[in-house]
Structures are given as structure tokens and as C-alpha cells.
Chains A and B, each alone.
Chain A
Amino acid sequence: MQTLYMQEFQKIVGSENVLTGAEDLYCYSYDATPGYSHLPEAVIIPENVEQVSAILKLANQHEIPVYPRGSGTNLSAGCVPLKGGIVLLMNRFDHIIDVDLENLVVVTEPGVIVADLNNLAAKHGLIYPPDPGTVATATLGGTIAENAGGLRGLKYGVSKHYVMGLEVVLANGDILHTGGRNVKDVSGYDLTKLFTGSEGTLGVITQATLKLVAAPECKKSIMAVFKNLDNAGTTVAGIIAAKITPATLEIMDNATIRTVEDYAHVGLPLDAEAVLLIEVDGMPEVVAKEADEILQVLKTNHADDIQVAQNDAERDKLWAARRAALPALAKLRPTTYVEDATVPRSKVPEFLRDVSRIAKNFNVTIGTFGHAGDGNMHPTIVCDNRDQKEMELVKQAMNEIFLSAIKLGGTLSGEHGIGLGKLPWMEQQHGSKVMDAMKSIKRALDPKLILNPGKLVGEC
């Protein structure tokens, strides 16, 4: 990038907020996705929407790529500055602007950490439901842009269900305000939903109006062990058919169970084909009734062992196994790919069997755990990025996993986004016409293709 532009950027945000040192640039060349990195030419740290607008205007004029970034914890290479240019670091936007208890809405800047919003909401007996595994580190801007989900997605959905309005800066510097505090709002195209999950390819989010919901009064956790995977599958179907929507309905496959047991010694039987962790929440009377019904469903579907947490300590014990799933798998090998292919929930057992078969065929280690209730699985491939031969097999296995999900009527991503990691299969899932439509939207809003170029819809 020419020095001349750099001086212009320094004028906008102050020279201390334009990083160009070799070490600083290196620190923004990656995110939490293995296998992708590229040096930016500058890291620019704005603090208000006017600065973002001025930066984008200038970048657009000179066709400099811009990569918005929060904490850089995404798993789809969404922040990697693959074509050089500018990393637009949004973490100085760290104020919660308004907590509107009459409308149960919060207006916040995108650099606020999700957990910080939750801590504030908790003081008012409220929650912001999207809770990705990175809740203590990820920014709201990042989670909105990636449409992040979490463990309670079955009942509470993902980020897009909570974003009511956005302030967005377009590639040309225009500042848009979409949506607002209205519960019902059908006026025009739903641009709020369009920008939510757009992965920084359509605009830069500078403010968000988010919906909060009442914190559940009470929770009850149940863990069930199955020697037969099909029984776990019919249990999930049975719970849903009983018209119960648990907040959490998690599954772990045999590979994950063995790894977790080896690592955390929580007492899981090594021959179990599946473990389900179920949590219902809400009013105490409803929770008690639903828990009873779930126990019935478990018995009918031949669960081999059932544990019900009677208090917080017991609840923590049940959750320990699920919480250990990713760390235990990640510790096996240096490199960890956490995928999030999602299938209709009725297809979960079939998908799990496919993944086990693929792991065996290609001789790669894959543990699968995930959100059985909403079909969002996390096939987790552990390997060593430095071993090219192994990586070739990993790539092939990954390909088969995504093709299997698509074949079962599933989707490439339940909550991590597409970025670069899942781009190769986008056309297979959506078909060329849908891809064309998506690319037209990209070109309409960002004609010079400066915003996170090459991601989500690929080259346009």
C-alpha cells in the first residue's frame, strides 16, 4: 500500500491507531481457523462510525481490501486478510449504549465481549441467548457477522434471531440504519437479517440493537448413555414428538466418549455408542413436568443409564463431560478442525455413522459431538498440519463429510459461517442460481469488492 494512503488513514484515526510494524501485522494474519494466514498491510483501529466511514471511503476509492475483525476467534477464516490490505480492528467500539428494559432491548457497539453483555443482562434477570463456545472472548460484532449459535440453539436459535437493528457502513462509506426496536417490523427488505451473517462481506457493523429475553427461573439436566446409537436417535425424535423443546440436547459419539473418558475420567462407559445431555429450563412447574416426560421417553427408547442432576454440583458434573469434549479432542494432536455441518435432526444417527465410516476409510481421527436437538454436529478432525500426506487425507475426509451432510438434506454450517473453509462446497449446497443471486447482492453493495473479498460467495 502506498505511503500516501497510510498518511491519510493516520489522519483519520491518529497514527497510534494505524499499526504497520512487522510483528503487529503478523499478529493479525490469522484467526482461530487452522491452515489460513496472510499478512495485512496495516491494522487500523477506529473508534467511531465517522472514522469507519472515512476509512472505507478511502479504501474504496483506492480499491484496498478491508477485513473487519473483532477478537478473531471464528472457525471459518473469516478474519484472515487473504489479499493483504487493511485489518479493521473494531475492539475500541466497546460501549453498551442503552439498556431498554421496557422494550427488552439493548443497543450496543460491536466490540463488546458477549459475556460482558450477558453479565449486564443477568443483573436485570435477562439473557442474550447466543452463547458460542467463545462467549468469554468473542465480540458481539463478530458473533453477529458470523451468525454464531451455541449450546442452547434448539430452544433459543442463533444470533440472527436476536438482532433487531443494525448500523452498518457500506463499502462506499455510506452509513445505514436498519430495523429498530419494533417487535413487528415488515417494512421493506429485511436488511438487518441480510447483514447478520454476512461475514463482513457486505458492510461493517458499527452498532447493533439486540433482543434480550427473560432468564429461565430454573434448569434441570439429565444425562443418558446409550449402547446403541439408534436408540439415542429415536430418543431425540421422541422428545421433539412429545412437544418438548429442551434448551440443550447434546450428543457425543463413541470416539468422543472414549477421548473424554481418557482425559477427564468422568465415568463414561467406553463401549457406549452415544451419550445425550439434555437440559430443560423455564418455570419450575414446567421444568419438573418436562423432565418427567423426558425420563419416560428415555426409558421407552432403552437408554442404558440415566442420571438426573439434583443440584448445581451434580449439574456441573454432568456438564463436565460435554465441556471436556473439545479440549480432550484438541489435546490429542497439534491441529484441530472443528466443523459444524448440520443435518435435519432425524438424520443425526445416519450422519454420525457416515462420519465414523469416513474416519475409518481415510484413517483420520474424528470425534463428533454437537447439538443433536437442532442437528448441528461438530465433526472434529484432529491431525498435524505439518504432515502433508496426512493433510491430503484430512481434506478428502472433510470433502466426504460435507457431501454426506448435503446428501442428507443438511447444510454446510449451522453456526460457524462459511468464510474460506467451506467455500468449496457452497455451489453444491445451493446450486449455481442461488450463488449467482448471492453474488449479485455482493456486487450491488460492494461493487469494487473491497470488503472481505473472496469469502462466503467466493470471487465475483
Chain B
Amino acid sequence: MDYVAIKEIQNKDQRLLKDIRDALAKCMKCGNCMAVCPIYKETRNEASVARGKLALIEGILSGENEISADLDHILSKCLCCKACAANCPCGVKADELIIRGRQAVVQARGLHPVKKLVFKLLSNRKLFDIALKAAGLFGPLSFKRLPRKMAAVARFPMPGIDKKRITAPFAPVPLRSRYPEVVKAANARHKVGFFTGCMINYIYTDVGDAVIHVLNHNDIEVVIPSEQHCCGTPVYVSGDKELAKSFARHIINVFENYDVEYVIAACGSCAEALKIEYPHMFQDDPTMYKRAKVLAEKTYEISEFLVDIVPFRRDDLGQILQTVTMHDPCHMARGIKVTKQPREILQAIPGLTFIEMKEADRCCGSGGSFSVANYSLSRKINDRKIKNIKESSADVVATSCGTCRMHLADGLEQNKVYIEAVHVVQLLEQSYCAGEI
């Protein structure tokens, strides 16, 4: 390539990032992010850690680097666990800047072909629904169920899935197809919308059941809008901002059609999308920003809602004689900052012994699609988590995110640790059930 052409590419790349020039300059390269980055801990390579990634983005702005395929690959190696931002003495939001870097990559080079394909399916709500329903119906043909609850392993090699990896089976019938749009409660005190998210609708329907039962049990009517769809987080963190915005618009539209006081999500990442990311996405669009803000302000993660708003009934809780530890999903701990409420729920259950594991809020290594593209690395990160769970000597590990739960279940199985991974709200449901006997 001649000099002029290279210059032109560099200038174009620079334009894509010039709005974050000042934010990048705040990084003083102290390297404190190295102490907490789960990926750096395994690779100990500077390009793995926020300091390196931000330096590379700065290099594009200074015209020293280009948005290359290698840069794409490097920026994709981030779990978005936000540990770097939380540990930064200068308050640099490295996680957001890395996503901004990914957006520039998408604009300059386009999406990775596999992601392009997946997102195409994901962006067609009806087709996505049919595909995942089919996956549930035909699942037993392709996945073998394991003795562990909600665990399955592929019967034959599948693209993108490590052959040893334990996943959860797709539900034969998705959650939203099993319930009417409005699940009434006698003498309802509140009326809430339930944003199920994909994991709960298509895979962990047991969590969806628990959310509905627990809310009903607390005299709350649950509305489950049938047209809701993915929150868009997988698309947003991959750098396709425009597609992510269309997901956000859809969710905002759908929930505006229902007269509900609150919107409840039972997944840290989904809750963060509605509460934080949507308003952030529409910063330069006052009308959409206002609508996003209305949704954001009435959205609560289930444990946050049960503790801070309801507050949940404690008079008829039954005994659960188990020792339980808690894994805080990244987007719960450092995203929406909800860590006390799940513990309050667990500690309210009679007979339950709550025990903290070491580094409870350290990333489990899943990072959503990160674990699909980088399974062995995410396995190593997860092995540390499993070690901490094991050392806690708990019988059950509770968490608040579907992808965390799936990755924990895989890690527990791979490491032959016979501890169950569940959602916090399932234990509450179990306790209410025990109280009825």
C-alpha cells in the first residue's frame, strides 16, 4: 500500500475514536489493572490488560497504529467484567473505552463473520424464537442430559462449542409460551413487568418459574410481554452499536405498551442493559433518552426489588438445611452494584447457613460469548472460581445470572465438584414451598 493510502486509513481510524481522546489521556499507565484483570492473570501479556488495550487505542489516535485484524482480536479478549475500572485510581472507565474501541473496529472492518451470522438470527425476533424452540424440541437428539440438574453435553461436535463443555439443555417449551401474558395475583399490591431475557426464556425456565411464583406469593401481578426480545447486551459489547440501539428501541417500545409500576429482570446483565446502557446509548437523542430513562428508573433486578421495594414476606419461609455461598456476577457487583440484597434474601431463609467464598465478585470467566470463542482461557479463569467455591465447603452456589450459572455448572462438573449452581430466587422459592408444607 502506498503512503497516501495508509495515511487515509489512519485518518479515518482516528476520526472513529476522536471523541474518547480525553478519556484515554486520563490513563496514567500505572498498571493497577494488572492486579485484577482475570485474563491478564492467566496470560500475563500486556495486550491482555486494560493498560495495553487503551494504549493501543491511543496509538490509533496518534496515527502510530491502524485498526488491524490483530487489534480486533486483542480487543475481543476482554470479559467486560469491569474489574479494571473499579480498581483504577484515575477513574478511567476502561471497560467502556474497550467497547468504544470495538465499535470503531466494527465501523472500520465490519463484524466478525460468525457474529454477523448469529446477530442476523438474533435480530429477527420471530425466526430466533422458532430456532430456539426447535432447539428445545430436538435438543435431546443433539445433547445428552447429565445426572446434574440442568446439564447437558453435545452428542456430536458442534461449531463453536468445545466438545467437553457442559451446557444447559434448551427448554422443550420456552417460559413465555407456558404462561399467559398476565399472571394475576389475588389482592395484588403491585403490578410488574417481567423482562425474562433469553437465558431464562429458552434455557433456565426454572428461574423464570421461581421469579413468577415468588412475585405472586408476595401479592404481585406479573405481566410478561410476549413481544419482548433479547436486551441487546451481546450485540452492544461486540461493538455493533446501531444494532444494539434497535434492540433497545424495541424493548422500550414493548414495555411502554404495558401499564406496570416496575420492570423486573432476573439477570445482572439484562438489568444493567435496561437500567444503565439504554440511557447511555441514546445520550445524543433527547426523545429516546427520555423514554430510556423512564424504563431505566422503574427497572429492578429481582433481589433488589424484593428487598428494597416489596419487601418480601418472611413470615412463611420454610427451612432449607443447606450451606450456601454466593457468586456475584460482574454486572451485578460492578454494573448495577447489587450485592447486599441477594445476601439478605439468602440469610433470611431459616436453616440456611450462608458462607462467603474468597473473591466472590471475581469474574467466573464466562463473559457471555467470550467463553464460546475462548473456551480454554475462560476455563482457566473459571477453575480459580471453582477452587474458591470448593474451599467454601458450601452445598450450593447461588448467583444471579444465567451465563454465570451455566459456566459455573460446567466448571463444577469438569472439576468433579458436586455442588449445585442455582439462582438466588430459586432458593427463596424453595423456602416458600417448604413453608407451605
Report whether B90 and A23 are in contact in the complex, using a CB–CB cutoff of 8 Å. no
Known A-B contacts A26-B56, A26-B64; A326 and B89 likewise in contact (beta carbons under 8 Å): yes
Known A-B contacts A23-B71, A336-B28; A331 and B91 likewise in contact (beta carbons under 8 Å): yes
Complex interface bits, B33-66 against A, C-beta within 8 A gives 1, otherwise 0: 0110000000011110000100110010000110
A448 to B47, CA, bound (A): 32
A331 to B44, CA, bound (A): 27
Cβ of A342 within 8 Å of any chain B Cβ, yes or no, is no
Cβ of B148 within 8 Å of any chain A Cβ, yes or no, is no
Cβ of A72 within 8 Å of any chain B Cβ, yes or no, is yes
Cβ of A386 within 8 Å of any chain B Cβ, yes or no, is yes
CB distance from A295 to the nearest CB of B (A): 32
Known A-B contacts A71-B34, A331-B90; A34 and B59 likewise in contact (beta carbons under 8 Å): no
Cβ of A128 within 8 Å of any chain B Cβ, yes or no, is no
Question: A334: which B residues are within 8 A, CB to CB?
Answer: 22, 25-26, 28
Report whether A136 and B26 are in contact in the complex, using a CB–CB cutoff of 8 Å. no
A327 to B30, CA, bound (A): 11
Question: A386: which B residues are within 8 A, CB to CB?
Answer: 25
Question: A115: which B residues are within 8 A, CB to CB?
Answer: 35
Question: A92: which B residues are within 8 A, CB to CB?
Answer: 44
Question: B30: which A residues are within 8 A, CB to CB?
Answer: 32, 73, 134
Q: Which of A33, A91, A331, A335 has the most CB of B within 10 A?
A: A331
Cβ of B29 within 8 Å of any chain A Cβ, yes or no, is yes
Report whether A72 and B68 are in contact in the complex, using a CB–CB cutoff of 8 Å. no
A23 to B101, CA, bound (A): 14
Report whether A22 and B68 are in contact in the complex, using a CB–CB cutoff of 8 Å. yes
Number of interface residues of B (CB under 8 A): 27
Report whether A34 and B56 are in contact in the complex, using a CB–CB cutoff of 8 Å. no
Complex interface bits, B74-110 against A, C-beta within 8 A gives 1, otherwise 0: 1000000000000001110000000000000000000
Report whether A23 and B47 are in contact in the complex, using a CB–CB cutoff of 8 Å. yes
A28 to B55, CA, bound (A): 10
Cβ of A427 within 8 Å of any chain B Cβ, yes or no, is no
Cβ of A30 within 8 Å of any chain B Cβ, yes or no, is yes
Q: Given B26, B35, B47, B59, which contacts A24 in the complex, CB threshold below 8 Å?
A: B47
Report whether A32 and B29 are in contact in the complex, using a CB–CB cutoff of 8 Å. yes
Report whether B32 and A136 are in contact in the complex, using a CB–CB cutoff of 8 Å. yes
Question: B59: which A residues are within 8 A, CB to CB?
Answer: 26
CB distance from B310 to the nearest CB of A (A): 32
Cβ of A27 within 8 Å of any chain B Cβ, yes or no, is yes
Cβ of A330 within 8 Å of any chain B Cβ, yes or no, is yes
Q: Which of A112-133 contact B (CB under 8 A)?
A: 115
A384 to B35, CA, bound (A): 26
Cβ of A431 within 8 Å of any chain B Cβ, yes or no, is no
CB distance from B45 to the nearest CB of A (A): 8
Q: Which A residue's beta carbon lies closest to that of B71? A: A23
A28 to B34, CA, bound (A): 14
Q: Which A residue's beta carbon lies closest to that of B35? A: A136
Report whether B28 and A34 are in contact in the complex, using a CB–CB cutoff of 8 Å. yes
A162 to B22, CA, bound (A): 42
Q: Which A residue's beta carbon lies closest to that of B32? A: A137
Cβ of A267 within 8 Å of any chain B Cβ, yes or no, is no
Q: Which of A390-436 contact B (CB under 8 A)?
A: none
CB distance from B330 to the nearest CB of A (A): 19
Report whether A32 and B28 are in contact in the complex, using a CB–CB cutoff of 8 Å. yes
Report whether B70 and A21 are in contact in the complex, using a CB–CB cutoff of 8 Å. yes
Q: Which B residue's beta carbon lies closest to that of A74? A: B31
Report whether A26 and B65 are in contact in the complex, using a CB–CB cutoff of 8 Å. yes
A27 to B32, CA, bound (A): 15
Q: Given B22, B31, B65, B90, which contacts A330 in the complex, CB threshold below 8 Å?
A: B90
Known A-B contacts A22-B65, A136-B35, A137-B34; A330 and B29 likewise in contact (beta carbons under 8 Å): no
A72 to B90, CA, bound (A): 18
Question: B28: which A residues are within 8 A, CB to CB?
Answer: 32, 34, 330, 334-336
Q: Which of A15-41 contact B (CB under 8 A)?
A: 21-24, 26-34
Q: Which 4 A-B pairs have the closest CB atoms?
A: A327-B89, A136-B35, A27-B46, A334-B25
Q: Given contacts A23-B47, A134-B30, A137-B31, could you give 10 more A-B pairs where the C-beta distance is less than 8 Å?
A: A21-B70, A23-B65, A24-B45, A26-B65, A73-B31, A91-B44, A136-B32, A137-B34, A327-B89, A335-B28
Binding site for A on B (CB under 8 A): 22, 25-26, 28-32, 34-35, 44-47, 52, 55-56, 59, 64-65, 68, 70-71, 74, 89-91
